[in-house]
Amino acid sequence: AIATAPLNKEALHLAGHNYPGHTELLATLTESRDYAMVLYTDKLKVIHVSTHIALRKFLDTLNGHRVETVIGIADRFLKRVGFTQPRIAVAGVNPHAGENGLFGDEEIRIVSPAIENMKAKGIDVYGPCPPDTVFLQAYEGQYDMVVAMYHDQGHIPLKLLGFYDGVNITAGLPFIRTSADHGTAFDIAWTGKAKSESMAVSIKLAMQLA
């Protein structure tokens, strides 16, 4: 297992390493194709279809195969950490999960068929669910994990509810990789304000899962 500290992505790029972050770097080094970012707390767990990509580009590249892949990764990950019958909710892309095509048709064209395909494989998956309520439902125990479509859709609710004990996990690598779920916070360096809780929890979780 490996527990990585926060990484400054601008510094990484300035050094000539053109990766969006640890997730993509480690996936490349291990030649892992099917991987996903998980944010993990005791009460809320989120996995992402896309991560460090512009929102406009995400909409252009969203496809059913990737959604199916992430649902499968979520199911395997949850079983690895002790859920015998994982319940997975998939968030929609658009407000109210598109409202039957009124606010966008990605749910109809892409997300719903992917969910049905994974249901046919025996995975207990639900959706597409309205993004503004599904995270609360998971937090209250209705689901074991939420599949978020893009970076901020998944990060905002988890960091709001578990900023100091959240862990970033790369699921799909040949080893366990965890990290604190926050950045480098250079703005508070040498002020005594930084908190170590998330990093400590990530190290403990790496040991637990290894």
Q: What is the reported pTM?
A: 0.90
Res 47: pLDDT:
98
Residue 210 lies in a domain: no
29-60 pLDDT, tens digit per residue, is 999 999 999 999 999 999 999 988 999 999 99
Query: Where do we find the tokens 């390493």?
Result: 17
**Position 79 confidence tier, pLDDT thresholds 50, 70, 90:** very high
Ramachandran assignment for 172, one of left (phi > 0), alpha (psi -120 to 50 degrees), beta (any other): left
Q: Dihedrals φ, ψ of 66, to 5°?
A: -65, -40
Residue range(s) defining the domain that contains residue 77: 2-10+31-182
Q: Nearest Cα to 179, choosing from 151, 194, 156, 201?
A: 201
Residue 129 lies in a domain: yes
**Position 24 confidence tier, pLDDT thresholds 50, 70, 90:** confident
CA dist 178 and 199 (Å) reads: 9
Single-letter residue type at 1: A
Residue 204 lies in a domain: no
Q: Give me the CATH number covering residue 170.
A: 3.40.718.10
Structural domains in the chain (count): 1
CB count within 10 Å of CB 142 equals 13
Residue 46 lies in a domain: yes
**Position 9 confidence tier, pLDDT thresholds 50, 70, 90:** confident
Residue 200 lies in a domain: no
Residue 58 lies in a domain: yes
Mean residue pLDDT across the chain = 94
Residue 197 lies in a domain: no
Residue 40 lies in a domain: yes
